[in-house]
Amino acid sequence: MDIVIKNNILDVILRFENKRIAIIGDLMLDRYLWGSAIRISPEAPVPVVDIDQESNRLGGSANVANNIITLGGIAYPIGLIGNDHNGNIILELMNSDKFITDGIIKDPNLPTTVKTRVIANNQHVVRIDRENKHTISEKSYQLLFNFIEANIKSFDAIIFEDYNKGVITKELIKNVINLAKKHSIPVTVDPKFDNFFEFVNVDVFKPNRKEAEEAIGQKIKSDEDLFKVMQSIQRKIDCANLLLTRGEKGMALMEKNGEITLISTRARNIADVSGAGDTVISTLTMALVSGATPKEAAVISNFAAGIVCEEVGVVPIRKDILINKIQEELTK
């Protein structure tokens, strides 16, 4: 990497402090059961995991919000939780004045989404999901949009973090994007399948390879395939920048002028890719509102993703660790 680019991205990261980011999406609780497996069950050919520790972490769009906080920003998580114990745990985990939680609505008809991961000997054994994927009610939609509309001038950027759990609807997407354009607020998107082509004219659209392949109906087996898929997506949604994450192959960035940049992965020892996409969209957005070019923002988010992939479970990226990682590169 060019020395000028390295110094530029360090300057950008130092400007992350107190950037105000709204995160619209599916709030979840990630529960971890940690233990060891040293025997097979006599009842079925499955390991018996002796649990010795349990922990809760912010998941889904709440993890994106947590990444914003650990990068030095102020997060406005916007979405629904149930009026239940697990919903209260999410609010307790957001016990910081940098979380603005007024945009979190308690819906008595909706259970809080919980993903429980069983980890044995630092290996992910199984995941158990408890969720409701029904589209939100008109009342809940109106409460969410009213909050966004009332606070739009407070946001430096808006992130859509869609997990297809029902919070993000076509109506919400259209109205929020129009509102953001009216106030010159950048919008970035981490999509899923259901609303993939609804996010028209956003600043950054960030699918992963699987999502892109399924949306376009073409497998990416070569760089030529990659370019064709990216061009097809860009034509359909007219996004300013398209960032496609490619797992172990890193990322590909297509800018508005059609230029494509391939960025190699920075992960050294991949332990768990859970939450890497959350880290990418949060770091990318923070970089853009801190003065980075799209290419610089992609490079910074690629470093961040490489760091969190070396940890077991969903963990947010810390600004100090990100800076240290990039400074290591400066000395090479």
Q: pLDDT, tens digit, for every residue of 60-76?
A: 999 999 999 999 999 99
Q: Sign of torsion, CA 303 308 311 317?
A: positive
Whether this model's pTM surpasses 0.75: yes
Q: Which residues are catalytic?
A: 278
Q: What is the pLDDT of residue 135?
A: 83
Structural contact between residues 235 and 256, judged by C-beta atoms closer than 8 angstroms:
no
- What pLDDT score does 330 carry? 65
pLDDT at 121 over 70: yes
Q: What does the radius of gyration of the chain's CA atoms come to, in whole angstroms?
A: 20
| Domains along the sequence of the chain with CATH | 3-29+59-110+132-330 (3.40.1190.20)
Q: What is the largest CA-CA distance in the chain?
A: 63
CB 227 within 8 A of CB 260: yes
Report the percent of the chain where pLDDT is more than 70.
92
Instruction: For residue 271, report the phi and psi dihedrals to the nearest 5 degrees.
Output: -105, -35
What pLDDT, on a 0 to 100 scale, did the predictor assign at position 83?
94
pLDDT band at 268 (very low <50, low <70, confident <90, very high): low
Neighbouring CB atoms inside 10 A of 98's CB total: 15
User: Are the C-beta atoms of 49 and 20 separated by less than 8 Å?
Assistant: no
**How confident is the model over 229-248, as a mean pLDDT?**
94
Say what the pLDDT of residue 266 is.
67
CA distance 169 to 9: 35
For residue 215, give the nearest of 201, 203, 230 by alpha carbon. Answer: 230
